[in-house]
Amino acid sequence: MAEVLARRSSRGIALCLGALFLVAACGGGGGNSGGGGASSTDVTVWTAWGGAELKAFKDVLAPFESSSGIKVHITTNRDSTNQIANGIAAGTDLPDIAPGPTDPVQVADWVSKGALKPIETALGDQFSAYISNTYPALTTAPGGSDDPYIGIIGGKHYEMMVKTQVKGLLWYNKKVYTGAAPKSFDDLLAINPSQYGAQKLFCAGFESGAASGWPASDQIDNIIMRQSGETVYTSWIQGKQKFSSPEIKLGYQTFLKEVSAANVYGGSNTALSTNFGKAGDPLFKSPAGCLFLEQATFITSFFQQDFPSLNLKAGTDFDFFAHPSMGNSQYDGNVNGFYDNFAMYNNTPAARKLMQYMATKDAQQIWVNDGGTLGAIKTLNYTDPVFKNAASVAGSAKNLLVTAGDFMPSDMQKAFWQSLLNVTNNPSSLNSELAHLDQVQAAAYQKS
Amino acid sequence: MGGIDLGQVTTALIAIIAVPLVLLGYIILGEQVIERLPDRIQEWIRPYFWALPAIGFATVFMVYPLLRTVVISFRNNADTDWIGLANYQYFFTFPDTLTSLRNSLLWLVFYTFFAVFLGLIIAILVDRVKYESLAKIAIFLPVPISAVAASIIWKFMFDYQPPGTTQTGTLNAAIGLVGHDPVAWLVNATTNNAALIFVGVWTAVGFCMVIISASLKAISSEVLEAARIDGANEFQIVRLVITPLLWPTITVVGTTMLINALKTFDIVYVMTNGAYNTDVIATQMFTQLQHNHLSRAAAVGVVLFVAIIPLLVVNVRRFQQQEEQR
């Protein structure tokens, strides 16, 4: 009896093993798509875009493919940076064109290994037109030095900008707030919401699942970059500026004014419990819960989704003004934003042609016609008043500064985001929170 | 999204066909060799032969990674040098990891206690009602729900709206009925850990109940009758007869819950991601991994593993005892 059982169970083990083998083999496959020789007829492109963004990209590529006869092979790959890093380490095929890395250390590393080809090479005699057409903040390092955040290493460009977005915009309901855009942050705080029939000055919603806190970090980023300047802001991202330093502490204190019980709709518990997508809802309630919501351009679709019956129209029902000055006029040109770039990993004739095409006004016009984004070129035409307005904000920017948390080590980012939640919850914990952040900073940026 | 990669399909097909063939070949050919051996050796060698692939897999995918993890936890992140106990020192002195350690302890005690205790009580109660299966189904329903879905459901239950507005969260609507201001359950430091543990208990009680209930059915009604004839009331029967008889089952369920408590990740990750001091050991390990602090993550993993070993030992012993009883 026992023997039969033993045999049965060993057969069972064999079966299980077969299944395991299968799972392992299926999981092990994949990888290794893209690549190819120095083709003049085919080009491989990796992008993180899907859905509407991917459709827009395909619309951009259609005229190129039909006029040049070059076939563009697109792969949507949301993990492209890691896979390219592995490809570089292993010496395997890389896509011809893919986004450059966002981590400044990685940019420099890939340049030194020759994986990234200069945009100067890709664009050839079109390069100077690219520089003069594109928003200066995207192509010119502050002070003319290198700036790995926009892909400039050793005086050469390695990331070609194709799209951009601006953040730190203050949205309002045009039927409620009828005043002018405040010149300074103090003017903004001085506005009396009850004069316009609103309960509070600001709305806020910091909840975002596992990423809760990022909307708050956008707010403090926009304060610090205009209050203490780009140098402090950048060295803070790089872990060279302590959180307890006077500049960053001042940023936190200013942020706390935006979320104080007197200024934020529903008090801190509401700001902390409300999802960022719903944060703007009180703008359109009657009576209005608040006058302003600080958020990037993407928020308009949330307004329209949440109030389908109001049929909200950008420009007539709601609008925004740019983040007001923090009182230091030399830093007023600092704008918080992000960008989409392409970098060239294989210097092939087809890849060069595609890069050259994507840098043209015609190509980028198709991009913005599909909506939802700004192009990188200054002189595009926008039918959507929101993007028209946002384009002027981008055009006035001296420096386009990236969102701090996104460029910090991820444990630093998490601690940074959560510290903003904690001080909103309990403002008296500010000093201990900053001391704790210093501790995390020291540990997070360690090399080993 | 995107086309089907033919290379991947081929790989999958090869795996589906070739791997079972290889295994089958191993078994058939091996059996032919074994059959030619003397009977005594056959008896001895066959189980090892059949188990060898499994042992191989377990070694490659479990034993080796385990040993590697222990080794890495004593090395620097680039795996180039020994750094002694630095990673462990970090774990046991850094405020964030200490908070996660405290919270895991809270989970360990309260999650386990309430899941098992409520499971036991409910199992005993439903045993005495007519609509037992209906009640059991209701309690068991949360068990098959994935922890992520359960967390999202409870996020809605805990939802907070400004005082004076309509409360969309069920809990705040309920306490609003008795005139209490809404509570930001997941934000408030005095309620958030309890709220998370509550969700954990909600998903686990059904499991505990079903297991305990099954072994409750195995208690002979004659034993209970004898107790009643001896003059015991129902409370005494539960306390002095049923509970001791269920004790082996309660231990097994309890240790399983203890292990679950230590492994808790998804509920915390989805509902707060450790904000407002709700981190637990597993989310802490994940954070370290996310930012490539591989050796620190390994140290956290080793601590977690060492903490679980005694529970595993107890559990395995229990199973062995039960096997022997049969």
Nearest CA-CA distance, residue B122 and chain A, Å: 33
- Does A239 contact chain B (CB < 8 Å)? no
Instruction: Please give the residue of chain B at the shortest CA–CA distance from A50.
Output: B1
Q: How far apart, in whole angstroms, are the C-alpha atoms of residue B35 and residue A108?
A: 64
Please compute the mean of the pLDDT values over residues B254-265 and round it to a whole number: 92
Q: Is residue A244 within 8 angstroms of chain B, CB to CB?
A: no
Alpha carbons A297 and A319: distance in angstroms, whole number:
10
Tell me: the pLDDT tens digits for A34-71? 444 578 899 999 999 988 889 999 999 999 999 999 99
Mean predicted confidence (pLDDT) in A204-231: 94
Percent of chain A residues topping a pLDDT of 90:
70
**CA-CA distances (angstroms) from residue A189 to A250, A264, A326, B232?**
16, 11, 11, 74
Question: Which residues 310-369 of chain A have a CB within 8 Å of chain B?
Answer: none
Whether A24 shows a pLDDT value over 50: the answer reads no
Taking the C-alpha atoms of residue A40 and residue A69, their distance in angstroms, rounded to an integer, is 10
By Cβ distance, the residue of B46, B162, B189 closest to A266 is B162
Give the chain B residue nearest A27 (alpha carbons).
Answer: B12
pLDDT of residue A12: 45
Task: Please name the amino acid found at residue B296.
Answer: R
Q: Are B311 and B317 in contact (CB under 8 A)?
A: no
Shortest Cα distance, chain A CAs vs residue B111, angstroms = 22
B-contacting residues in A 260-319 (Cβ below 8 Å): 265-267, 269-270, 272-273, 289
Q: What is the mean pLDDT of residues B113-120?
A: 96
Q: Test A411 with B7 for CB contact under 8 angstroms.
A: no
Q: How confident is the model at residue A431 (pLDDT cuts 50, 70, 90)?
A: very high
pLDDT band at B261 (very low <50, low <70, confident <90, very high): very high
Mean pLDDT across A104-109: 87
Q: Which of A19-33, A150-164, B25-39 has the lowest mean pLDDT?
A: A19-33
Three-state DSSP state, A101: coil
pLDDT for position B260: 93
Q: What is the pLDDT of residue A446?
A: 74
For residues B251-261, average pLDDT: 92
Residue A12, chain B, CB below 8 Å: the answer is no
Residue closest to B153 by CA, chosen among B106, B115, B198, B109: B198
- Point out the residue among B15, B76, B291 whose CB comes nearest to the CB of A448: B76
Q: How far is B294 from chain A (nearest CA, A)?
A: 10
Rounded mean pLDDT, A380-404: 90
A21 chain-B contacts, CB cut-off 8 A: 15, 19-20, 22-23
Q: The domain A169-333+404-444: what is its CATH number?
A: 3.40.190.10
Q: Is the dihedral of CA A190, A195, A196, A200 positive or negative?
A: positive
Kind plus residue range of the DSSP H or E element containing A153? strand A152-153
Same fold: A42-163+340-391 with A169-333+404-444: yes
- Among residues A99, A100, A439, the alpha carbon closest in space to that of A244 is found at A439
Nearest to B53 among A17, A25, A266 (CB): A17
Q: Which residues pair with A294 in a beta bridge?
A: A170
Instruction: Please answer whether residues B258 and B318 qualify as being in contact, where contact means their C-beta atoms are separated by less than 8 angstroms.
Output: no
Eight-state DSSP code of residue A79: T
ipTM computed for the complex: 0.79
**Residues paired with A172 in a beta bridge:** A292, A319
CB contact under 8 A, A266 and B163: yes
Q: Quick one: pLDDT at residue A344?
A: 97
Question: Which chain A residue's Cα is nearest to B80?
Answer: A448
Interface test with A, best of B8, B11, B19 (most A CBs within 10 A): B19
When the pLDDT of each residue in chain B is averaged and rounded to a whole number, the result is 90
Task: Name residues 28-47 of chain A within 8 A of B (Cβ).
Answer: 28-30, 32-33
pLDDT digits (tens, 9 = 90+) for B284-314: 998 888 777 889 999 999 998 998 898 888 8
Q: Which of A17, A29, A213 sits opposite B275 (nearest CB)?
A: A213
Half-sphere exposure of B41 (CA within 13 A, CB side): 7
Residue burial A39-72, b: 16+ Cβ < 10 Å; e: rest: beeebbbbbebeeebbebbeebbeebeeebebeb
pLDDT reading at B320 higher than 70: yes
Q: How many residues are given for chain B?
A: 326
Among chain A residues, CA nearest to B90? A443
Task: Check residues A179 and B11 and name the one with the higher pLDDT.
Answer: A179
Chain A residue numbers touching B27 (CB-CB < 8 A) = 14
The nearest alpha carbon in chain A to B16 belongs to A22
What integer pLDDT is reported at residue A189 of this predicted model? 97
Whose CA is closest to A72, among A41, A104, A51, A33? Answer: A41
With vertex at residue A37, the alpha carbon angle to CA A35 and CA A38, rounded to the nearest 5 degrees, is 120
Residue ranges of the alpha helices (H) in B59-169? Answer: 64-72, 86-93, 95-106, 112-126, 132-140, 147-157
According to the model, what pLDDT value does residue B326 have? 66
Asked if B162 lies within 8 A of A267 by C-beta distance, the reply is yes
DSSP state of A360: S
Determine the distance in angstroms separating the CA of A379 from the nearest CA of chain B, rounded to an integer: 33
- AA letter at A434: L
**Inter-chain residue contact A410 with B94, CB threshold 8 Å:** no
Q: Who among A14, A443, A447 is closest to B50 (CB)?
A: A14
Q: How many helices (H) and strands (E) does chain B have?
A: 16, 0
Model confidence, pTM: 0.81
Structure-block tokens of residue A105: 């250390």
Q: Taking the CA atoms of A421, A425, A430 and A435 in sequence, report the sign of the dihedral they define.
A: negative
pLDDT at A144: 66
Q: How many CB atoms lie within 10 A of CB B75?
A: 19
Structure token digits, residue B155: 């996020």
Six-digit token pair at B18?
């070739």
Mean pLDDT of chain A: 88
Give residue-wise pLDDT tens across range A281-320.
Answer: 999 998 999 999 999 988 988 898 899 999 998 889 999 9
Cβ-based contacts of A48 with chain B (< 8 Å) = none
Instruction: Give the Cα separation of B32 and B49 in Å (integer).
Output: 12
A142-156 pLDDT, tens digit each: 666 788 889 999 999
Cβ-based contacts of A209 with chain B (< 8 Å): 270, 273
Size of interface A-B (CB pairs under 8 A): 133
- Tell me the nearest-neighbour CA distance from A422 into chain B, angstroms: 6
Please compute the mean of the pLDDT values over residues B34-52 and round it to a whole number.
90
* Residue among A338, A284, A275 nearest A310 (CA): A284
Task: Report the distance separating Cα A307 and Cα A297, nearest Å.
Answer: 17
CA proximity to A72, closest of A96, A93, A50, A56: A96
- Cβ of residue A429 closer than 8 Å to a chain B Cβ: no
C-alpha–C-alpha distance, residues B181 and A354, integer Å: 60
Please tell me if residue A14 touches chain B, with a CB cutoff of 8 Å. Answer: yes
pLDDT band of residue A408 (cuts 50, 70, 90) is: confident
Could you tell me which chain B residue has the CA closest to the CA of A30? B8
Better pLDDT: B315 or A423: A423
**Band (B154; pLDDT cuts 50, 70, 90):** very high
How confident is the model at residue A81, as a pLDDT?
87
The residue assigned the tokens 């050469």 is A156
Rounded CA separation A408/A444 (Å): 9
A chain contacts of residue B160, beta-carbon cutoff 8 Å: 269-270, 273
Q: How far apart are CA A407 and CA A261, in angstroms?
A: 31
Facing residue for B54 by CB, picked from A17, A75, A411: A17
Please give the pLDDT value at position A35. Answer: 43
In terms of pLDDT, which residue wins out, A28 or B26? B26
Are B77 and A443 an interchain contact pair (Cβ–Cβ within 8 Å)? no
Of B20, B77, B275, the CB nearest to A18: B20
* DSSP conformation letters of B82-108: B-TTHHHHHHHH-HHHHHHHHHHHHII
CA–CA separation, B323 and B311 (whole Å): 18
What pLDDT is recorded for position A31?
37
B129 Cβ neighbours under 8 A, 6+ residues apart: B135
Nearest-CA distance B273 → chain A (Å): 5
What mean pLDDT is predicted for residues A343-362?
Answer: 96
Of 3.40.190.10, 3.40.50.300, 3.40.50.10680, 3.40.50.720, the CATH number of A42-163+340-391 is: 3.40.190.10
What pLDDT is attached to residue A29? Answer: 36
Domain boundaries along the sequence of chain A: 42-163+340-391, 169-333+404-444
Question: How far, in whole angstroms, is CA B167 from its chain's centroid?
Answer: 34
Alpha-carbon dihedral sign for residues A29, A35, A37, A41: positive
pLDDT given at position A5? 43
Instruction: Report the pLDDT value the prediction gives residue B4, as an integer from 0 to 100.
Output: 61
Q: What is the DSSP letter of B61?
A: I
Instruction: Kindly state whether A410 is in contact with chain B, defined as any CB-CB distance less than 8 angstroms.
Output: yes
DSSP B196: H
Q: What is the pLDDT of residues A233-282, one digit of tens each?
A: 999 998 999 999 999 999 999 999 999 999 999 999 999 999 999 999 99
- The pLDDT value recorded for residue B292 is 73
Taking the C-alpha atoms of residue B50 and residue A370, their distance in angstroms, rounded to an integer, is 61
Spatial contact of B251 and B212, defined as CB atoms under 8 Å apart: no
Chain A positions in Cβ-Cβ contact with residue B161 (cut-off 8 Å):
266, 270, 273
Instruction: Say if residues A327 and A343 touch (Cβ distance below 8 Å).
Output: no
The token duo for A432 is: 């201990």
Name chain A contacts of B293, Cβ cutoff 8 Å: 411
- Count Cβ atoms below 10 Å from residue A191 Cβ, excluding itself: 15
Residues in chain A within 8 Å Cβ distance of B50:
10-11, 13-14
Closest approach of chain B CAs to the CA of A277, in angstroms?
A: 15
Judge contact between A184 and A392, C-beta under 8 A.
no
The 10 Å Cβ neighbour count of residue B167 is 19
Cis, peptide link before residue B163, omega less than 30° from 0:
no
Residue B315: is its pLDDT beyond 90? Answer: no
Considering only CB atoms, which chain B residues are within 8 Å of A6?
A: 47
For chain B, percent of residues with pLDDT exceeding 70: 98
- Chain B residue numbers with beta carbons less than 8 Å from the beta carbon of A33 are 5, 7
SS3 B221: helix
pLDDT value at residue A37: 53
Q: Closest Cα partner for A8 from B62, B58, B19, B46?
A: B46
CB pair distance less than 8 Å for B95 and A436: yes
Q: Are residues B65 and A25 in contact, defined by beta-carbon separation less than 8 angstroms?
A: no
What pLDDT does residue A382 have?
Answer: 93
Residues of B whose CB is below 8 A from A13: 50-51, 53-54
A14: pLDDT strictly greater than 90: no
Residues A291, A6: Cα–Cα separation, whole Å? 74
Share of chain A above pLDDT 70, in %: 91
pLDDT digits (tens, 9 = 90+) for A312-330: 988 899 999 999 999 999 9
